[in-house]
């Protein structure tokens, strides 16, 4: 299809050189310029859906790919065999805390145990990109 279109256009230009000249003066205008993201939304390694909000994403342990925060919480809840009356909160720096289900934000002493989820030594590239982009502002 594309090849055919190109061929017919080339023919047209040869026959009407003046019109071709006019065309070159016109800027290549895209009717609906899509905002170009720095990189396409990566797929979550757990649920397979794109992770559009990298700020709330957590680096998946296996390959450091960004995963949905909720997906990691769900995964950790299973992996850490949380009790019915326990839940996970994000403490920051890739660390989750196991707290009582009735935990209220700010009760630091309520954290029963901490789970270092993200690899502290190995910052994923997508996270580095985010921090450098915002540090320069």
> What SS3 state is found at 21?
helix
Q: Is 51 or 99 the residue whose CB approaches Zn ion more closely? A: 51
Q: How many residues does the chain have?
A: 137
Query: Which helix (H) or strand (E) covers residue 27, if one does?
Result: none
Residue of 59, 68, 99, 118 that binds Zn ion (CB under 5 A) = 68
Cβ proximity of 51 and 66 under 8 Å: yes
Quote the least distance from Cβ 45 to Zn ion, whole Å: 8
Quote the least distance from Cβ 39 to Zn ion, whole Å: 17
Stretch near Zn ion under the rule CB under 5 A, chosen from 7-15, 25-33, 66-74, 110-118: 66-74
Quote the least distance from Cβ 52 to Zn ion, whole Å: 11
Query: Nearest residue by C-beta to Zn ion?
Result: 44
57 binds Zn ion (CB under 5 A): no
Contacts of 99 (CB under 8 A, 6+ apart): 86, 87, 88, 89, 107, 110, 111, 112
71 binds Zn ion (CB under 5 A): yes
- Dihedral sign for Cα 103, 93, 78, 71, please: positive
Q: Which residues bind Zn ion (CB under 5 A)?
A: 44, 46-47, 68, 71
């Amino acid at each position: 299809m594309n090849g055919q279109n190109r061929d017919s256009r080339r023919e047209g230009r040869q026959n009407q050189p003046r019109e071709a000249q006019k065309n070159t003066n016109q800027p290549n205008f895209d009717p609906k310029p899509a905002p170009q993201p720095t990189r396409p939304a990566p797929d979550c390694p757990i649920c397979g859906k794109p992770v559009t909000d990298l700020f709330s994403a957590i680096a998946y342990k296996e390959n450091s790919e960004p995963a949905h925060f909720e997906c990691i919480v769900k995964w950790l809840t299973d992996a850490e065999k949380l009790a019915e009356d326990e839940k996970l909160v994000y403490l920051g720096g890739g660390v989750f805390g196991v707290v009582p289900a009735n935990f209220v934000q700010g009760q630091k002493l309520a954290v029963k145990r901490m789970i270092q989820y993200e690899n502290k030594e190995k910052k994923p590239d997508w996270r580095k990109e985010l921090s450098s982009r915002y540090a320069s502002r």
